[in-house]
Homo-oligomer: A and B are copies of this chain.
Amino acid sequence: MVEYKVAANSVGVVETKYFDFDEIELESGKKIAPVRIAYETYGKLNKNKDNAILLCHALSADAHVAGYYKDQFDEDGNLKVDEKPGWWDNMVGPSKAFDTDKYFVICSNVICGCKGSTGPSSIDPTRGEPYGLRFPVITIKDMVNAEKKLIDYLGIRRILTLSGGSIGGMQALQWAISYPERIISTIPQASSARPSAQAIAFNEVARRAIMSDPNFNKGDYYGKERPRNGLAIARMMGHITYLSEESMKRKFGRKLFKDKVGYDFDVDFQVESYLRYQGEKFVERFDANTYLYMTKARDYYDLVEEYNGRLANAFINSTNVKYLLISFTSDWLFPTEHTKEIVRALQAVGADVSFCEIECDYGHDAFLLETDKQTQIITNFLNRVVEEEKIEII
């Protein structure tokens, strides 16, 4: 048997699992049937089934939070060159913030995703071909409802905590509103109760780029040329919004790609080369339709509108939940002010809320990149929750 060589604090080799259920009713009034949800788990569920942590992913990620797949190793069990672990591997594993020696960590690919869960690339059983844009529009609430079915299926009565950044943070927040009795605490990061006009504007440009690519074909491009250019442009622009001006300056500044400018329209600056690479890499792994659906879900999220201008009302029935909200100083897509708006609403209803703004220059992507401070804050918070709730860790 091959021994897979990984770091001591890695969850090691993991597998994606699948959960199928009959149907789901959506916020739009439409239904999807049947539904498959791809998920991964790390660590062990304790006897009381109360040490589970549900992580929620953002726009471009998936159920693969941590560890590696078998095919990333060679025959001797050594990682192949350039193989990367799951998207939050720095935060999930033995002795990490979401400590898999203590907790049972779950992550599922959202409904409308393109990494194993039912989404626009799935076969619509009524037509025998991929849904494409006939897939119904999905909201954050719909994502949470699909996750809730998975949690039911796993036999977990109360989730110890949830976390995620950006769209993942919105899910972590929405869980507290939709299913307060089913969660003990939640840790939304780089989140917002209502994205700004500017954030919507960037998403709209991304959608235009995808939908005006001639290969888009109204979303029916499966088995044909895909709208690669449109998706690459969307990703390049998105990337600028995930970084901060400071981090781009630090990483690239005005450094040239070659020794001098070319006086042409090829790559002149390193930042251009980086963005092109990010765009090209992304189209290899992501479905353009899912990009459309994820951006719409983000745009539609508006707790203030939903609760008639009184955000606090969203949390009236959720004061049993312990909240830790984390924002990042350099996040200009969902700035700290958005998190503070949520914090103030939670305080107004007397919820148990902790808030931390982490100083770092990574921008919106900071929840993926900053490890040390997040780990410290989350570890302390979880220790407190575990103690107060008398959770018996394995």
Contact = CB atoms under 8 A, between A and B. Distances in A.
Interface string A258-281: 000101110011011001100100
A214 B214 CA distance: 8
Interface stretch (A32-40, A101-109, A297-305, A339-347): A297-305
Contacts of A61: none
Interface in A271-298: 271-272, 275-276, 279, 292, 296
Contacts of A385: none
A332 to B, nearest CB: 8
Question: Which of A248, A253, A263 has the most B CB atoms < 10 Å from its CB?
Answer: A263
A212 interface: yes
A275 B201 contact: yes
Given A208-B279, A263-B136, A263-B137, A196 B245 contact: yes
Nearest to A295: B265
Contacts of A211: 265
A317 interface: no
B240 A205 contact: yes
Contacts of A299: 268-269
Interface string A168-202: 00000000000000000000000000111110111
A248 B195 CA distance: 12
Nearest to A363: B198
Interface string A212-232: 101000000000000001001
Interface in A103-162: 133, 136-137
Interface residues of A, number: 53
A63 interface: no
Contacts of A279: 208
A137 B300 contact: no
A357 interface: no
B207 A265 contact: yes
A254 interface: yes
B245 A232 contact: no
Minimum-distance CB pairs A-B, first 5 = A212-B229, A197-B248, A28-B263, A137-B263, A204-B272
Interface of A: 28, 30, 133, 136-137, 194-198, 200-202, 204-205, 207-209, 211-212, 214, 229, 232-233, 236-237, 240, 243, 245, 248-249, 251-254, 261, 263-265, 268-269, 271-272, 275-276, 279, 292, 296, 299-300, 302, 305, 332
